[in-house]
Amino acid sequence: MLNIIVCIKQVPMVSELPWDSKTGTLKRELAEGMMDPASRRALEAALQIKENQGAHICAVTMGPAMAQEILHQAKALGADVGVLLTDKRMAGADTFLTSHILARFIQREYENFDLVLCGSQTSDSETAQVGPQLAEELNIPAIGYVSQIRAKENSVEAQRHVDDFFEILNMDLPGLITIDLSAYKPRYLALEGVEKAFENPDIRIIDAKKLGLDDSFNALKDSPTRIIDVFSPTTQNENRVLKGAVKKVVDQLFDEYGKVIGSAMGKDLKTHEHDEV
């Protein structure tokens, strides 16, 4: 039976948020966390392996206490164990340290793991770095952007389409795979399932000390990269602003720019005969 670890992350729901089309605003009250869509697919891949040939699935996340929610969800879906790595000193970790912390956990608690599954990239930072860096630190091979896995005795066969190449690869275990966003469409979780999972949460919580990280460990300070400035992209384009009734602005648009538009279309547009407003 395969010993599978799935790394999942909680991300803000902002960009995919239910949204009020009347006011054009986000329904912020619903801006809670959700399971990163790619992580969700990694979990789906693990669940399918479990169904087909049996597996033990540990879902692990590093994040704030609130991230427990996605572990409940993972357990409701079929993960056997949920583990939260959480500590003030882990906050602010870049990918170098996120992968270090995840690796630490796996080395200490799941020494005889077979397969680590990650999403290819998260929806909030999309670095696509945590998977490869975790593999590097665990000194195991990794295949990214995989769309199909077939697990065998001591190896897995993975299929992917990357950089214009369709490939089938065979990888020794233990190994790591990141699941592409186009694959393993996640299953639906009935509400009662979630509720049940919340009744008996049973999530393991591990802090920096329990992970054996140095007393001086501080992710924010120790990350090799540092943000020195944050700004919003301002573009002060000298532009033409048209406003008013739709009919009026559309007429104005073609009056003033009909030539430009027509030439890009490769068509000659009739010039406008002015309407009475």
Ligand X SMILES: Cc1cc2nc3c(=O)[nH]c(=O)nc-3n(C[C@H](O)[C@H](O)[C@H](O)COP(=O)(O)OP(=O)(O)OC[C@H]3O[C@@H](n4cnc5c(N)ncnc54)[C@H](O)[C@@H]3O)c2cc1C
Ligand Y SMILES: Nc1ncnc2c1ncn2[C@@H]1O[C@H](COP(=O)(O)O)[C@@H](O)[C@H]1O
Residue ranges binding ligand X (CB under 6 A):
15, 24, 124-126
**Which listed range, 59-67, 146-154, 171-179, 213-221, lies at the site for other proteins (CB under 8 A)?**
171-179
**Which listed range, 61-69, 70-78, 180-188, 212-220, lies at the site for ligand Y (CB under 6 A)?**
61-69
- For the CB of residue 45, give the shortest distance to other proteins in the complex, in Å: 18
Residue among 2, 42, 79, 143 that touches ligand Y (CB under 6 A): 42
Please list the residues that pair with 161 across neighbouring strands.
166
Residue among 119, 144, 174, 175 that touches ligand Y (CB under 6 A): 119
Under rule CB under 8 A, residue 64 binds other proteins = no
Cα dihedral across residues 124, 126, 131, 132: positive or negative: negative
Q: Give the C-alpha distances (Å, rounded to integers) separating 180 from 10, 74, 120, 167, 268.
A: 17, 19, 5, 14, 46
- For the CB of residue 212, give the shortest distance to other proteins in the complex, in Å: 19
CB 91 within 8 A of CB 38: no
239-258: which residues touch ligand Y (CB under 6 A)?
none
210-229: which residues touch other proteins (CB under 8 A)?
223-229
86-115: which residues touch other proteins (CB under 8 A)?
94-96, 99
What is the C-alpha to C-alpha distance for residues 79 and 14, in angstroms, rounded to an integer?
26
Residue among 68, 73, 86, 95 that touches ligand Y (CB under 6 A): 95
Closest by Cα among 198, 196, 184 to 37: 184
Residue among 29, 153, 163, 192 that touches other proteins (CB under 8 A): 163
Angle of helix 68-77 relative to helix 37-53, nearest 10 degrees? 30
- For the CB of residue 129, give the shortest distance to ligand Y in the complex, in Å: 4
**Which listed range, 71-79, 105-113, 129-137, 217-225, lies at the site for ligand Y (CB under 6 A)?**
129-137
Judged by beta carbon, residue 15 or residue 25, the one nearer ligand Y is 15
CB 149 within 8 A of CB 42: no
Spacing of C-alpha 191 from chain mean position: 23
What is the C-alpha to C-alpha distance for residues 215 and 96, in angstroms, rounded to an integer?
19
65 binds, among ligand X, ligand Y, other proteins, none (CB under 5 to 8 A by kind): none
Amino acid at position 251, single letter: D
